[in-house]
Amino acid sequence: QVQLVESGGGLVQAGGSLRLSCAASGRAFDNYVLAWFRQAPGKEREFVARISSSGLSTYYTDSVEGRFTIARDNAKNMMYLQMNVLKPEDTAVYYCAAPARIYWTGSWSTANAYAYWGQGTQVTVSS
């Protein structure tokens, strides 16, 4: 049974940093794209960042480019999101996501590409 568990969320002041972790179990994900999404109150879930299976290729939504860094450790079946210079608009529940298949004909930046989701971790940035 595949399970994704996020950790590392919390309350931080604007300009601060947090590091989120995602622990995967039940299957090795070293051949799969992994991603982070977030959902703010009253808003739809949105893409934040994704990382290729090797970790060599990353992609970010414009609003976090240059502030967030996605990384993975395939040996540990872990993924991370380093978040710097946090802003109040970054406040949301953050989810890690993994696909069921290695290949996807659509965009890896859409939620439909992912079958497995964690329970989420709350990030709150105060102004």
One digit per residue, the tens of pLDDT, for the chain of length 127 reads: 899 999 999 999 999 999 999 999 999 899 999 999 999 999 999 999 999 999 999 999 999 999 999 999 999 999 999 999 999 999 999 999 999 998 899 999 999 999 999 999 999 999 9
Please, are residues 17 and 80 in contact by the beta-carbon 8 Å criterion?
no
Q: Around Cβ 72, how many Cβ atoms within 10 Å?
A: 22
Amino acid at the residue 48: V
DSSP letter at 77 equals T
Q: Which one, of 107, 86, 108, lies nearest residue 97 by Cα? A: 108
Sheet strands side by side (includes 68-73)? 3-7, 18-25, 78-83, 68-73
How far apart CA 115 and CA 50 sit, in angstroms, is: 15
How confident is the model over 1-22, as pLDDT tens digits? Answer: 899 999 999 999 999 999 999 9
